[in-house]
């Protein structure tokens, strides 16, 4: 099965699919995140995160 990277617009409680695909990449780790498993993102930065760990890491780095 060939997977395709999706393009999304992140909103506060949802996201819009701009270009269909199966996954997005985590902005911190580079890991693939299947759209069905996508739970963490930053609306202002328009970034997706693999887990709460990566989201927290980005949050801490923004404070520096």
pLDDT of 28-58, one tens digit each? Answer: 999 999 999 999 999 999 999 999 999 999 9
What token pair was written down for 61? 């780095």
Total count of domains within the chain: 1
Q: Is residue 2 part of a domain?
A: no
Q: Does residue 17 carry a pLDDT above 80?
A: yes
Q: Is residue 22 part of a domain?
A: yes
CB 42 within 8 A of CB 5: no
Q: How many other β-carbons are positioned within 10 Å of the β-carbon of residue 42? A: 15
- pLDDT (mean) for 16-36: 97
What domain range is 46 assigned to?
Answer: 7-62
What token pair was written down for 35? 């759209």
For residue 64, name the pLDDT band (cuts at 50, 70, 90).
Answer: low
CA distance 54 to 30: 10
Q: Does residue 9 carry a pLDDT above 90?
A: yes
């Amino acid at each position: 099965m060939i997977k395709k990277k999706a393009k999304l617009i992140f909103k506060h409680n949802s996201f819009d699919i701009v270009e269909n695909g199966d996954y997005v990449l985590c902005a911190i780790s580079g890991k693939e995140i299947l759209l069905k498993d996508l739970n963490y993102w930053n609306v202002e930065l328009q970034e997706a995160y693999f887990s709460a760990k990566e989201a927290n890491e980005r949050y801490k780095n923004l404070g520096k």
